[in-house]
């Protein structure tokens, strides 16, 4: 391969002990993954790589230019995202007609900040397409979760695993999770608070009166010990300014009178706070181009194998078009299934 050292600095570079093995593994993952993508035009364009031997690895793999030991390699392994149980860059096994083969751990050249930001819009489209195609093939697209005395129905999604070292990509997922949670989950809680306080005419009551009202007791029983301080602060913001909003003023009093306890932040919430301080300047751009419905499942991660502990696991839900019933499975002219994207 041509050595063009004049371009060093345009792409990431790395010193790799066995460069030929690195090139072979990179090409193999690109050709044998669920989705193999080749980055071009300074990572602004993603071209899908054909899979001549069928899909064997449940990954999204991105290959792109990088310098390996000072030599430009056009198809270097730059990023892996695991689907379902697959873990990026870790050993995995698959079955062929003859035997079970094992692909050992892979080395990759991390993406720069500029490269990640260039990839995010197209990567979001690829992830959403994979989720929608998979969900349309399922017989059941909902699951139910018990919340208090009631059962809440949610759409099923597809799980994606990102290594913790991919900080900007992980931040994009965590930011979308925060946005979706505030929009769906905490907004419902704010609505519940307003409903419970709807019959109270004044913004100030004695402590004895607040403890005796049915609505205030319902709010205290719902939130005590179940939400973090940052989540309660978000709900307070949704309720408005305490000097102008009766509901906000009463909610603040409920927190004091009932001595509401906050739960400790979980791993993903701590990770978001840490990454948000580091990459807050990227928030407007990421929010604009990475529009996925994302949920997190930190409790499930505790039961995962040791080799997956350095990863974040996210659930991406189907697009709004599927939720609204605008997309459906139909038959093409040959009688085969076709997904109308």
> Domain tally for the chain?
2
**Domain match, 318 and 218 both:** yes
Alpha-carbon distance of 251 to 203, in angstroms, equals: 10
Alpha-carbon distance of 339 to 341, in angstroms, equals: 6
**Domain match, 91 and 215 both:** no
- Does residue 74 lie within any of the structural domains? yes
- Does residue 118 lie within any of the structural domains? no
List, in sequence order, every residue forming a beta bridge with 62; answer none if it has no partner.
Answer: 37, 79
pLDDT in 10s for each residue of the chain, 341 residues = 334 433 444 678 788 888 899 999 998 888 888 888 898 877 878 888 876 666 678 899 999 999 888 888 889 999 999 998 889 998 888 776 777 778 888 999 999 999 999 999 999 999 999 998 888 887 777 767 665 566 666 777 889 999 999 999 999 999 999 988 888 788 889 999 999 998 888 888 899 999 999 999 999 999 998 888 988 999 999 998 888 889 999 999 999 999 999 988 888 889 999 999 999 999 999 999 998 988 875 544 444 555 567 899 998 988 877 777 655 544 334 444 444 43
- Does residue 27 lie within any of the structural domains? yes
Last-in-domain residue among 72, 94, 111:
111
Q: Are 215 and 196 in contact, with CB atoms under 8 Å apart?
A: yes
**Domain match, 146 and 236 both:** yes
- Does residue 116 lie within any of the structural domains? no
pLDDT at residue 84, rounded to an integer: 84
- Does residue 123 lie within any of the structural domains? no
**Domain match, 290 and 169 both:** yes
**Domain match, 170 and 305 both:** yes
- Does residue 158 lie within any of the structural domains? yes
Alpha-carbon distance of 313 to 81, in angstroms, equals: 10
**pTM (2 d.p.):** 0.80
**Domain match, 147 and 25 both:** no
pLDDT at residue 169, rounded to an integer: 95
Q: In whole angstroms, how far apart are CA 154 and each of 129, 184, 298, 315?
A: 19, 11, 18, 12
Find the domain containing 202 and state its range. Answer: 142-323
Q: Are 87 and 307 in contact, with CB atoms under 8 Å apart?
A: yes
Q: Are 116 and 163 in contact, with CB atoms under 8 Å apart?
A: no
**Domain match, 34 and 146 both:** no
pLDDT at residue 150, rounded to an integer: 65
Return the C-alpha torsion angle 7, 13, 15, 19, nearest 10: -80
**Domain match, 15 and 62 both:** yes
Alpha-carbon distance of 237 to 189, in angstroms, equals: 12
- Does residue 316 lie within any of the structural domains? yes
Alpha-carbon distance of 29 to 332, in angstroms, equals: 32
**98: exposed, middle or buried (Cβ count in 10 Å: 0-12, 13-18, 19+):** exposed
Alpha-carbon distance of 114 to 75, in angstroms, equals: 18
């Amino acid at each position: 391969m041509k050595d063009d050292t004049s371009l060093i600095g345009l792409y990431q570079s790395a010193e790799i002990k066995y460069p030929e093995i690195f090139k072979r593994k990179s090409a193999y993952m690109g050709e044998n993954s669920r989705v193999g993508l080749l980055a071009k035009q300074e990572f602004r364009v993603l071209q899908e790589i054909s899979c001549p031997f069928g899909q064997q690895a449940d990954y999204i793999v991105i290959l792109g230019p990088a310098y390996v030991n000072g030599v430009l390699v056009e198809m270097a392994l730059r990023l892996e995202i695991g689907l379902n149980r697959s873990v990026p860059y870790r050993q995995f096994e698959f079955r062929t007609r003859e035997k079970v083969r094992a692909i050992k751990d892979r080395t990759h050249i991390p993406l720069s900040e500029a490269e990640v930001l260039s990839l995010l819009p197209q990567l979001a489209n690829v992830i959403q397409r994979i989720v929608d195609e998979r969900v349309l093939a399922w017989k059941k697209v909902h699951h139910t979760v018990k919340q208090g005395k009631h059962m809440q129905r949610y759409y099923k999604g597809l799980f994606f695993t990102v290594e913790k070292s991919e900080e900007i990509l992980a931040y994009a997922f965590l930011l979308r999770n925060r946005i979706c949670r505030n929009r769906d989950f905490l907004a419902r809680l704010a609505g519940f608070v307003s409903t419970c306080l709807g019959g109270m005419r004044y913004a100030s009551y004695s402590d004895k009166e607040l403890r005796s009202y049915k609505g205030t007791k319902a709010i205290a029983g719902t939130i005590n010990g179940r939400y973090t301080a940052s989540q309660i602060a978000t709900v307070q913001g949704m309720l408005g300014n305490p000097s102008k909003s009766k509901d906000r003023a009463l909610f603040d009093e409920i927190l004091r009178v009932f001595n509401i306890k906050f739960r400790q932040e979980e791993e993903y919430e701590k990770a978001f706070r840490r990454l948000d301080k580091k990459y807050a300047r990227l928030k407007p751009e990421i929010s604009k181009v990475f529009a996925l419905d994302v949920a997190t499942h930190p409790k499930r991660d505790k039961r995962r194998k040791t080799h997956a502990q350095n990863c974040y696991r996210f659930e991406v839900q189907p697009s709004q078009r599927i939720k609204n019933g605008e997309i459906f499975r139909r038959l093409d002219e040959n009688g085969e299934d076709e997904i109308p994207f």
